[in-house]
Structures are given as structure tokens and as C-alpha cells.
Structure 1
């Protein structure tokens, strides 16, 4: 157990150090916008992850609304397994726009990545599920086996540590059990009995419940309602590409309006993209703990907890987290 704990802590430390090094290396070599000599991008790579938490972007991808709004820009879409991988891609210059959870975004910001949130994508509760009937709480889970999630600095990892602090008195009590795993693989590993628990997101958590899983944690009970995913980019890119930023915010707002006002139509589009029956998708997008809203919320609450357990060094100011867009006027 001790070696595993050391590995998790080391991976966090090494990851943060790598982000800091990449962020420093990218400074001064980016857009050159401060001197007014930048040129608008002709290619934009947008990264997202599997799951319903990216429904707004999946609709945009399926219907090519970004491409239609930006006909002179070569838009590409990349699916990745974790927010930390997306963060590294943006810092390294391989991606221009990313979508992900609060955890990797705040870790990057704290490490010196000059980026901000353009818009929220949704609010969703995140579940920690188990298939083991002998595990009814975190005390039972401690030492019982691996706990899968996208990465040790994912929003899911923050949720687990908050639960561990409240139930076990130590936020890092379960760190030795964390294993990095993409959501689809995590579902199969949980159902197959290869892991003790899986902290995931819609639609994967509902799929696990349908297979007989039991919920051990609910992020809304720990942090109140909060943003699950948002879209973000670096400051120099945003300053040099205001049209891209404006259209992205609009595209997300339009997709969220479809998801909220026309869930059946949205489910049909998502079914084609995700390979899930439309009826199942519609049930998911209309769940009571799912809301497709543009305003980011809960960032400060997560940041305060992350600072308290050493995941970040300080809580950022609101203006340092969000661009001034139509979506972020009431961001928190």
C-alpha cells in the first residue's frame, strides 16, 4: 500500500512539475498578441472526452456547427481519456481548445498555465459506484481494491478526497487505491470484478447502476450543485482569435438550448455520435441531477478544498479563472 500511495503522490508531483515546465516553455513563444503581431489561427483542434458530459460539443461535432460558423478555419476534433491529457496538449500547443473537469483546469492554472474558461458545458453529479455488496461505505472500501477514475488530478479524484476527508478523517486515505482508467474501460472493469469501485460520470454511472452497482458517493452531496465540464483555452489564443471564442460560446449555448428544450431531438443526434439508443440518451439528459447550463459554478468551492489538501497552492481570483464572455457573467 505504501508504494502505491507514493506512486500516486509522485505522479501528481511529476505531472504538476511537467505542466509548469511546459507552461514556462510556452511563454513568449505563443501568439505574440501583447505586441499586436499575432495572426488568427487557420487550424483549431478541439479536445473532449467520452461521455454525456461533453454532449454540447458532441452535438456541435455531429452537426458541424463550429465548422459552419468558422468556414475559414480547419476544425478538428480529438477524443482523449483524461483532462490532464487535454491540459498537456494545450500547454504543448497541439490543441487550441479543451474541455474537461475543474480539477485538471485548476491544477494547470496553479502551475502557471495561462488559460481561462470560456463557458461551462453542464452541471452533473458524479457517482462512486461499487459492485461489491460487502462494501457499503468508504470505511469498507479502504484497502478493498482499486478505485478507477480518469487521473489522480481529475475532478473525480477531488470528489473522492472530499468524501474520504468527511468519512475517514483523511482526504488522502484512499490515494493508494487510485488507478487511472478511461470511463468506458472503468465500467467494464467494475462489472467484471477487476476493481473495487469506479468514480465516473453520466452515462457510465447509470450503466453501472443498471448492472447492479451501489452508489457510495454523490458529488452534489459533497460540493452542492457544480459544473462538471467546461471549455477553456489559453489567453494568447483567445486574444488573437476573438471570432473563434465568440462562436464557440454561441455554439455551446445553442447546443445546451437544444438539450434543455428539445431533449428528444438532442438525444437523436447524440445517439448517432455515441452509439447509444436515443431513448437511453434522452433519459440521461433529462435526469434531475443533469443540467446543461453555460454559467460555470463551483470552481471557487473546489479550489478552496483543493488548496486545503495541497492539490493547488492558492485559490485563484475569479477573474483569473474565467474569460469575460456571455457565459461567465455570473461565474463562481
Structure 2
């Protein structure tokens, strides 16, 4: 048995353990948790990405909308970690990139959650940066490149290598979370990294951007940060899901009408200057609930949007890269779009 086969077998075994843990958690605690006094604890996975989700957190919009619930924000470093937490029954709602969500909806994970929000369309805030005289993706053969495995950056790195005609097996791709990649960069342990802001901003200071996720999107490899909710929680607490969607919509509208105020909240959450937070915010495309209910994104009840096709295309790509076991039928992704919930909030 070769090394790749051993690793894939180990990954499958680990997934089976997580699925068992998730089943146990769901059967014992149900959706969310309660303090026995009628108060529901809402566990939200978030990441340090400069979008409107941090505005919701900083301004306590959800806490204001749900005074009878306890809101627990839990920070994660990547969407792969969010998937693991969902499987373990540790979170109810959360942010994960489109690549981790695609993997989550595919075998062997088959996570029982659905997509109810597009936090942002990824642009220049994710990119491949290199140094040491490397000026093109084709020069990465034999080099050490860091990225968080299972993330949108990982997906984009593979897409960039494919577009440049580079066999990923000939590149030493290393699984590192953003802050770990930055530390490895400073030590001189890696030649390049595909990651996101604010870590990306630090890498750009002495590195060269080879390609951005916006450029890859123009080539048909669009990525996004998505909001997911477990099926069990959505069924048990529709009023909380609606409140969450309305809070996110409120924050997006604020970011569009008063970006400086939104950036001030993001700056506090990320420990950045307001100017840096505003610059990073502008690298993303944010969408209101009404825009997301259009045919390009989630769509409406009875008419799922093109986001389902985007996720299916990503699954086809990931299967070709042996990152998922099988490509689900297109209907699986269409059914995963929480159009009913979005319609209630956008109406």
C-alpha cells in the first residue's frame, strides 16, 4: 500500500469517527443547546475575514435581535475546521468557504447542513504570493507552497496550478493555517503561500502576487465565503435563522452605505487600523439578501440559483484532484440552498 492510499484510508477512517461523534451529539443534545430555562444557546462559527459577519459580531446585532437567546461566537482558522466542528455537533451556524462546503456536501463527509447566505465573493483578499525571484505559477515546481488544506485557498491553488499546466504532485504543497504560514514565511521555510487577509497583507510586503482569486473567478473558478446552518437547527429554530439572516443583511447594507463605519467594527475585531480594514473590506463583493435571492446566487423557492451549479462544478474539480470520493448529483447542491429561509428574511 503506497503513502497516498494510506493517507486516504486514514482520512476515511477519521471521517467515520467524526460522523459517529456527530450522530451521538445530535441524538443526545438535538439542535443547539438549552439552559433548562427556555433559553437557547446559538453557537456560531466565525473566521477573521473582513466582511460583514464581523460587523454583526462587533455591533452585537444578533444579541439585540434575540434577547432571550445566548449567542456564542467561536473562532475558527479555516472552513475545514468548521466542518469538523459541525460534524462533532459543536456549532449550529457558521462561515466556511465554498470549497469546504462543497467537500462537506460530498462523500465521505455528507454533512447535514445547508447554505443560507453568501458572506462575500472572494476577490483580491485571497491570493498566491511567492518570493525568491519566482514570478510565475509555472516556477513553483519543486517549491514549498503553504495553504490550509480543504479551504477556498487550497481549491484556488489547485486551479492556478492546473491553469498553468503544473502537476500538483510536482509541487510540495504544505497544509498550514494562515498564521502558521506567516510564521513559516518569516523563517524562510516556504517559497510561496496561497492564503487570505489579514495574513495575505503581511506576505505581500516582501512577496510577489502571482494570481488572485478574482482573476481565477474570471477564468470560471469562482469562490465565496458561505453561511451554513445545520438541518436540525434550521428545523428546530426557524425564528433564530431568520433573525440571523436579517442581522447579516443589515450589516451588509451598512457596509454598502457607510463603509467607514463598517470598517471601524472590522478594525476592532481584527486589531487593524480603520484604513487597513477599509482597504481589505473593499477587496470583497458583498451582497444583500435581495441580491442573493436572485438567479445568480441562492435563488427563490422553486427556482434554485446558479450557486448550486458553482458548487457542483467545484465538486467535479475536487474529484479530479482526488479531494472528494464522488461528485454528488446536481440536485444535492440545489436542495442544499436554503431558499425558503432566505425568502423569509428578504421578503
TM bucket (normalised to shorter chain) is 0.7 to 0.9
Q: Give the drift of 1:227.
A: 4.3
2:184 is aligned, of 186, 189, 210, to 189
Which residue of the partner structure matches residue 231 of structure 1?
Answer: 227
2:70 is aligned, of 71, 74, 82, to 74
Q: Give the drift of 1:214.
A: 0.8
- Matched position secondary structure for 1:200: strand
TM-score, normalization by structure 2: 0.79
Change (3 A) 1:6 1:258: farther
Which residue of the partner structure matches residue 141 of structure 1?
Answer: 140
Distance in 2 of aligned mates of 1:206 and 1:90:
30
Q: Give the drift of 1:86.
A: 1.3
Distance in 1 of aligned mates of 2:39 and 2:84:
20
- Matched position secondary structure for 2:169: coil
Does structure 2 conserve the Cα–Cα contact (< 8 Å) formed by 1:30 and 1:236? no
- 5 Å-filtered alignment, 1:4-19, equals 12-19=11-18
- 5 Å-filtered alignment, 1:1-332, equals 12-23=11-22, 25=24, 31=30, 42-52=40-50, 55-110=51-106, 111-125=109-123, 126-133=126-133, 135-145=134-144, 147-150=145-148, 152-170=149-167, 172-173=168-169, 177-209=172-204, 211-224=205-218, 226-287=222-283, 290-294=284-288, 295=292, 296=297, 297=307, 298-312=310-324, 313-315=326-328, 316-317=330-331, 318-325=333-340, 327=342
Name the count of aligned residue pairs: 312
Change (3 A) 1:85 1:11: farther
Change (3 A) 1:191 1:103: same
The two structures, once aligned, show a CA RMSD in angstroms of 2.9
Change (3 A) 1:309 1:186: closer
Does structure 1 conserve the Cα–Cα contact (< 8 Å) formed by 2:141 and 2:166? no
Higher mean displacement: 20-29 or 318-327: 20-29
Distance in 1 of aligned mates of 2:195 and 2:286:
18
Does structure 2 conserve the Cα–Cα contact (< 8 Å) formed by 1:183 and 1:204? yes
Distance in 1 of aligned mates of 2:38 and 2:317:
38
Q: Give the drift of 1:123.
A: 0.7
Which residue of the partner structure matches residue 301 of structure 2?
Answer: none
CA deviation digits over 1:260-298, x for unaligned, max 9? 2211111111112211000111122223xx211253543
- Matched position secondary structure for 1:90: helix
Change (3 A) 1:20 1:169: farther
TM-score, normalization by structure 1: 0.83
Does structure 2 conserve the Cα–Cα contact (< 8 Å) formed by 1:223 and 1:301? no
What 5-or-longer segments of structure 2 have no aligned partner? 32-36, 298-306
Does structure 2 conserve the Cα–Cα contact (< 8 Å) formed by 1:117 and 1:232? yes
Q: Give the drift of 1:163.
A: 1.8
